[in-house]
Structure 1
Amino acid sequence: MSIRAYKKDHLKELAPPLVAVEASAAWTSSSPIDDLNFWTQHTKYPVKVSLTIFRDGEDKRANPGGSWSGAMSGRPKLIAQLAPVLKELVEFASRRTVDKYYHSFRTWWRIFDALDGKTKPVETVADLTEVHRQYAVDQGMHRLAFSNFVRVVNLARLSEGLPQLHWFAPEREEQKRYLPPEWQTKAIRLKIKHEWFSALFRWDRATELMSGSAPANTEEQRLLANYQRFGSLYSELEPVLPNSDELRGDLAPWEFSGRGLSIPDMLRGRFPDAYDIRIAFHLCLATTGWNPSVLLDLDVTKPFIETHPKDPRRYLLRGFKARGKSEQLTEGLLSSQGSAGMILKRLMKQTEVLRIEVKRNLAEKAKAFRLLQKSNANSEVLDNARKELVKLEYVARSPWLYVTAQTGIAALDAASYHRRLDRENKGSFVQQVVQVINQTQAPDRQITAITASDFRDAYAAYAYQVSGGMVLFVMKALGHRRVSTTQRYLKNTLLNESSQGLYRTFSNALWHEVKFHGRVDPTILARWSRDGEPTASDRQRLEDYRALRRSRIGVGCKDPANPPSRIAPNFRASGASQCNVHRCTLCEENAVIFPDSLDGLCKRQAELEHIQSTISVAAFLESSFGEELDNTRKALACFDPIAMDTALQAWRKAISDGRHRVINLEGA
């Protein structure tokens, strides 16, 4: 029976089309394909799936540089049953999804090998028993590896008319997220930012030197000689990167280097290299909080940067998170060269001519591939040609192009973005940056290890702190669809320690207030939690401010019985009478503005604007209303602009509708 009613890979519905070349159309009938060897139909990242190792077994490491958990036996009947089901499930899957199924199958194959001789050997899906499930759980099998295999097995058993396996998967492991202190992530981000600006300066300075600017020193003279030699062999009209032999020309290697010539320097003056592109990528990770896959999936053939609809000084950067089918959105200033949007714009401009060459190569390879198909070439030749086409298509649409003397034009991908360039040591590219920073750090200020995904955790922690602990704010900042996902991000060591410390402080302050003052004051508790124990003068100042009389515009007055004569010239102090003018923003001596004074200040500004529109210009200039209006606007500048504008518009409308009457008080 068919299993097409079951949900396929999450990218099937929303995957965008390939770049406009004819290679994809030819792939539908590449080579003889069976259930054990086939290509996925993912429109961006098709991948070759070969299940023959599960039929024939594996007795040595497949990839010399990869990890390996040991040999496994072949089970031809079992894989013959599972292969058609897996083929349906990964029909539109990316490499990441396929790799998860590979890992799951390998893990279970080794489980079966371990139990051979102790129980009936597993030859078909009908041979699976509770013993195999329990052994897998006892061996600590990962939940995903367990579930993926059981899913395929149950679909295969269904097609065979067998009952399904109601196996409970291992419990989800509670992951501990270790996040370094904020000062450490800030130091890494600052270092990466400095390196990016160094690359910008290098490209701009190379352009200036090639345009006739005089070299400032002997090093710039040497670099200019490199740029000129490269420029003499490279034309942007017909961009084809010269190879090493063409750049060296008739010069012997010793003579070439003796003249200060360097192929990497020639390329780095015009294009990003492997180091530059990783710096740019990680800076975008740090400033957006996006997953690496979202940045890697950006497609230059589609617009993903646009001017902000409400502010022409800002931009919106849009990405798409395939897992969860959610749009990722961030914004920044168009004037900031260190923001993600401007980094991407500069990279695409700097590598535009490289992309032209890649597209030309892609068209040639697609044509050659179609000729191979017509010639009935063997499957291995066709598969290799197709893999090359898939790689070129990815490079053609990627904004992360770079060039090196060894590999030519390439693009960062999921397998290379975190790869360190310092091959003498192990670790990731970020760890390489950390090691450089630690060389100048004091022994007690060494930065701990960090990964690229930690940038997203750090971004979440920052959003949590600046929002005052609002999970929904973090959820929006990270582009999550479920609060539970956001909560997992916030379960890291940094926020846990911060929360525990805050709880201890709050708890101690609460019982201290009850014991020594006989009450619980929310303001005092907030001061304890934020700044430590309040002093006696802090408490007295709070009481004094709370005892202040409020004017009609919500501003406190230190001495309402004695207003300045310049504000209330007709006031006569009697000990009982109080200021009836309430022009508080003119009274620097007594006025105290509170956080809740916003509405009253907006009311007064609307009143002053109305007075200005109803009296002559000369009368307004001769009065103190102008000064009062300026002071009121300055006071309102300290409040949230959106809340201020809302309240101001409400009072203006109330005055125009006649619901609020403006009284021309003393001082006019």
Structure 2
Amino acid sequence: MTDLSRKKKKGVGVHPIIPVTPDETQGDLVFMTSHKQSPGLVNLNIYATGVTQQEIEQNKQRWKRKGIEPFKGHPQLITELAPHFRRLYGASPASSVRTLSTHLAWWWRLLDRCRDTAPVRSVEDLNDIHYATYRLSPCPSGNAALFFRLVALAREERGLSPLYWTALRIPSKDSELVKLDDVKRIYHWLKRPAFATLEKYQSDPSALPTKHEVVALFTMFLLNTGWNPQVAIDVDISICSEDGVPSCIIPHPQTNTHSIILSHKARARNSLQSAFSNNKRKLSPHNILLVLLKQTAPLRDRIRENITILRQLAREQQITATENHKLTKQIAENQALLRSPWIYRLRTYFSSAYNSANEKNAIWDISRISNATNVKYNASGTGQHAIPILRFAAKDINRHLAPGTKDVAEDISLSDLRDAFISWRYQQSGYSWLDAMLAAGHGNIESLRAYLNKKQHKAFSQHEFVRVGEQLWTTITEVPVLDMRGALPTVIAAKVAGVSDDQIQRWREGKDRTYVGMGCADIANPPKHISPNHKKGSLCRIQRCTLCPENAILFKDSYIHLAKRIAELRYLRAEMPAISWIESDFQEELENTGAALRTYDEAIVAHSIGEWETAIAEGRHRPVTMEGSYA
């Protein structure tokens, strides 16, 4: 049975909660989150009092933004749930906590539907009628898991029996993947304002960044890192080394021309995220951060002044708890500005002056990209009538397309760029889940499934299945002619890879084999990870075929030379320093070669390996060292 008291959601903390509340009589219904970077006030009183249609009509903007519909209040129920809600989520960002709190509105409306048959005052009144009502029209599983967990904790606290309610998993729909050609067009469009921004800063080093300039550089940063927008937003450049380089940029361990950019993903338990940057490129993530750090220096000096003033006000004795919370929030907001590379000046920067009556202007004359909805753009350069930058780019690209050219999708979002980046890496690696997982920065395969649940990827799998089936039946009908009865799996694999019948016949005759006795589907174009220095037009000289699953083809007698390679690798492992072995990819090659040999008779393979090991020991065969060099 599922334990409903277990934590189901990512990114929630159990850190100590700030003990002060605006009004101590309100208890846990009103509290301040203790998140270091984004604290804020959370008010659950609406679930005690309820909200009417009239109240929603009178304040449409507020309720429309929250997506609230009318419901009755349940003061005792929310009083029982609120302490557990605060304990579980009180250390999370305020925006996340407020979003989670709005999930309760769905359940309050469900309780209204059951008011006549099963009225509820407390958690002890909840029963199977409410659960059955939920199952008839379920809400998203995350919403249900939140409510079930709060109810389980509240009932446990009161000594009541558990309800054993479980959240229904609603299967996600296949989503369309943004086309790579569209991403390329947008990338080239973005290069124009991004390069123009760099040229402006070069000609005028004292220029303060505007929102449009920061938006262009931020979007270019996303395209080059493949990160979530929020991960890029949370990059911290407030701590710098003696040479002025932020701590979020660390040197690459193997080359001076590259660096590694670091950030954290709050929704994944603050896990570390990294991205490689080619420092030679002007619009690399490394150079974008350094340019913005330099150009925003005057703004950061102003922010430090704001923080000093606010801290002085916070130390005053005669302020209410509400004022204290307000100052705490403002200090946190200014500290977030100081950490962020994505800050820019507003029009009020030079006209506003700090005083007690105008403190808001003094704080907000500097702003930042704080979420994905801030990434907007327009032609005039003002904030009026701005639209998301990717939509603006798509519209501008489509206006200048040649007749008959397919338009760029205008509904593309910033998160689509990450999907496109992961999918591109997935395809480039020959549909390797491991490579896609590394590109996504995920810790397990399960987290990756949502990104690969795309119609295009499923269509590719279906297409490959059909291709294999077609080649299978075609080969079976041609077997008497080609006389390949003993090599049917190899022939099918080769044909699926697009190899000609003549080449297959040459392989069967022992010709055109690689160093390890295998065939290569494209020996003139080895992958970069196998032969980074390959000369176009020549044949692959590396031929470590078990590291190249996209091109390697096994034959019935390939075990002879694969056994030779096993013997060579074992010899190298015994002769070279352990640290050198670990840092090389010999271990991966050894494991892959062993996996390939498991398809052959174990006794024959063992005998062949023994013969090669004897030949090496007696000096009749010299092992070839191919890691990092040509054979």
TM-score, length-scaled by structure 1: 0.66
Residues 308 and 316, structure 1, Cα contact 8 Å, conserved in 2: yes
* Paired amino acid for 1:430: L
Counterpart secondary structure, 2:28? coil
Counterpart secondary structure, 1:445? coil
* Paired amino acid for 1:272: P
Residue 404 (str. 1) matches residue 351 (str. 2)? no
**Identical positions, percent:** 24
Quick one: distance in 2 between partners of 1:432 and 1:188? 10
CA shift for structure 1 position 131: 1.5
Quick one: distance in 2 between partners of 1:158 and 1:554? 64
Residues 505 and 528, structure 1, Cα contact 8 Å, conserved in 2: no
Cα distance change of structure 1 residues 164 and 427 upon mapping to structure 2, 3 Å threshold: farther
Counterpart secondary structure, 1:323? helix
Question: Where does residue 442 of structure 2 map in the other structure?
Answer: 480
Quick one: distance in 2 between partners of 1:138 and 1:661? 73
State the number of aligned residues.
499
Quick one: distance in 1 between partners of 2:297 and 2:284? 20
Question: Where does residue 489 of structure 1 map in the other structure?
Answer: 451
Q: Which has the larger radius of gyration?
A: 1
Residue 92 (str. 1) matches residue 83 (str. 2)? no
Residue 301 (str. 1) matches residue 246 (str. 2)? no
Quick one: distance in 1 between partners of 2:621 and 2:143? 73
Quick one: distance in 1 between partners of 2:230 and 2:109? 31
1:41-440 alignment runs, 5 A limit: 41-59=34-52, 60-61=55-56, 63-64=61-62, 66-116=65-115, 118-207=116-205, 270-302=207-239, 303-325=247-269, 326-371=271-316, 374-377=317-320, 379-405=321-347, 408-414=365-371, 416-419=373-376, 428-440=388-400
CA shift for structure 1 position 597: 8.3
* Paired amino acid for 2:225: T
Residues 475 and 486, structure 1, Cα contact 8 Å, conserved in 2: yes
Query: More deviation in 420-429 or 184-193?
Result: 420-429
Counterpart secondary structure, 1:331? strand
Quick one: distance in 1 between partners of 2:14 and 2:109? 36
CA shift for structure 1 position 361: 0.9
Counterpart secondary structure, 2:264? strand
Question: Where does residue 464 of structure 1 map in the other structure?
Answer: 426
Quick one: distance in 2 between partners of 1:466 and 1:187? 19
CA shift for structure 1 position 152: 0.8
CA shift for structure 1 position 364: 0.8
Question: Where does residue 462 of structure 2 map in the other structure?
Answer: 500
Residues 34 and 91, structure 2, Cα contact 8 Å, conserved in 1: yes
Quick one: distance in 2 between partners of 1:593 and 1:452? 39
Residues 100 and 145, structure 1, Cα contact 8 Å, conserved in 2: no
* Paired amino acid for 2:408: I
* Paired amino acid for 1:409: I
CA shift for structure 1 position 473: 1.4
* Paired amino acid for 2:106: T
Quick one: distance in 1 between partners of 2:377 and 2:135? 36
Cα distance change of structure 1 residues 101 and 544 upon mapping to structure 2, 3 Å threshold: closer
Quick one: distance in 2 between partners of 1:551 and 1:86? 65
CA shift for structure 1 position 102: 1.2
Counterpart secondary structure, 1:315? strand
Quick one: distance in 2 between partners of 1:10 and 1:551? 51
Counterpart secondary structure, 1:66? helix
Post-superposition Cα deviations, 1:173-221, rounded to whole Å, max 9, x if no partner, equal: 22322112221122122222333122112221334xxxxxxxxxxxxxx
CA shift for structure 1 position 392: 1.1
Counterpart secondary structure, 2:257? strand
Quick one: distance in 1 between partners of 2:545 and 2:248? 39
CA shift for structure 1 position 311: 1.2
CA shift for structure 1 position 524: 6.0
Quick one: distance in 2 between partners of 1:386 and 1:14? 20
Question: Where does residue 406 of structure 2 map in the other structure?
Answer: 445
Q: Aligned Cα RMSD in Å?
A: 3.8
Residues 12 and 89, structure 2, Cα contact 8 Å, conserved in 1: no
Unaligned regions of 5+ residues in structure 1, if any? Answer: 18-23, 208-230, 232-269, 557-590, 604-640, 648-655, 663-668
CA shift for structure 1 position 527: 6.2
Residues 9 and 89, structure 1, Cα contact 8 Å, conserved in 2: no
Residues 258 and 277, structure 2, Cα contact 8 Å, conserved in 1: yes
CA shift for structure 1 position 517: 4.1
Cα distance change of structure 1 residues 425 and 131 upon mapping to structure 2, 3 Å threshold: farther
Quick one: distance in 2 between partners of 1:111 and 1:592? 68
Residues 181 and 494, structure 1, Cα contact 8 Å, conserved in 2: no
Quick one: distance in 2 between partners of 1:523 and 1:271? 64
Quick one: distance in 1 between partners of 2:467 and 2:512? 33
CA shift for structure 1 position 288: 1.6
Quick one: distance in 1 between partners of 2:168 and 2:141? 5
Post-superposition Cα deviations, 1:229-248, rounded to whole Å, max 9, x if no partner, equal: xx7xxxxxxxxxxxxxxxxx
Quick one: distance in 2 between partners of 1:134 and 1:381? 46
Residues 9 and 91, structure 1, Cα contact 8 Å, conserved in 2: no
Counterpart secondary structure, 2:38? coil
TM-score, length-scaled by structure 2: 0.70
CA shift for structure 1 position 554: 8.8
Quick one: distance in 2 between partners of 1:357 and 1:97? 29
Post-superposition Cα deviations, 1:541-570, rounded to whole Å, max 9, x if no partner, equal: 5545765768998999xxxxxxxxxxxxxx
CA shift for structure 1 position 529: 4.2
Counterpart secondary structure, 1:316? strand
